[in-house]
Structure 1
């Protein structure tokens, strides 16, 4: 297993919140991607008013731990509640491990996004387990080779 990271959701103010945390905690941003950076996808259009919102952001704290975050309010997450909306992001060592963990956690729960290859290079899926905890499972062969 590659690590477990909290994944925070925001309603349009992810950039502001993460910069606030960085200012007061320290650390650095490893990745900042906006919805405008996404390639076109069938059945999914990003409204112009949302293009500058954060699709994904990775923030490394001074001790090396990470917080991941994105903007997911509005039509993307109609049940969003400020301060009570997060996932646990788990990195797997292999595609097989990712499938095994995902299948176990999603059993008797709800699959939001089946495990699949993504445009950013990860094999990735999301689910809510039977206890109501949101999970993001990913494997990236390139990142594994770099470590």
Structure 2
């Protein structure tokens, strides 16, 4: 497997939180993606369009802190304590399927693993022990 990173969720505070983390760790954000940039978001409330869909802050050569905001209009409610995911970045599509299918067995799939509009093969779930996971295979990032 290529990488495993912490992924944090916030209720509209991701940008503020990541600017704080950046002030402590240093570094730069490779990109900040807003929810309103995604296809099919035209009818979302304006305040949700400005929420963060994805942000990352490289900490060192092996660790990247990642995060996003919840979407209340889509039924996503943040509960402090379940707002952390483990984000897996496998080296192949086959490894992504193996990790997703193995770890999600007996758990609850939130988003089935599939090709996504941003170019990755992605899925998310809560395992049978209540741990939240994301599997993100991006063939562009080796």
Structure 2-normalised TM-score? Answer: 0.91
The runs of 5 or more residues in structure 2 that have no matched partner are none
Aligned to 1:39: 39
The answer (yes or no) to whether the contact 2:44–2:73 under 8 Å persists in 1 is: no
Distance 2:119 2:76 in 1: 27
What CA RMSD, in Å, does the superposition of the two structures yield over aligned residues? 1.7
Structure 1-normalised TM-score? Answer: 0.88
Distance 1:138 1:120 in 2: 11
Per-residue CA deviations over 1:70-123 (Å, capped at 9, x if unaligned) read: 001524454422354110000011111100110001100010000100000000
Segment of structure 1 superposing worse, 126-135 or 65-74 = 65-74
Task: Find the residue that maps to 2:31 and give its secondary structure.
Answer: strand
Number of residue-to-residue matches in the alignment = 141
Distance 1:78 1:141 in 2: 29
Question: 1:3 Cα deviation (Å)?
Answer: 0.5
The answer (yes or no) to whether the contact 2:48–2:71 under 8 Å persists in 1 is: no
The answer (yes or no) to whether the contact 1:35–1:46 under 8 Å persists in 2 is: no
The runs of 5 or more residues in structure 1 that have no matched partner are none
Distance 2:76 2:15 in 1: 20
| Pairing partner for 2:86 from 76, 85, 88 | 88
Segment of structure 1 superposing worse, 70-79 or 114-123 = 70-79
Distance 1:10 1:142 in 2: 27
Distance 2:78 2:113 in 1: 23
Segment of structure 1 superposing worse, 3-12 or 28-37 = 28-37
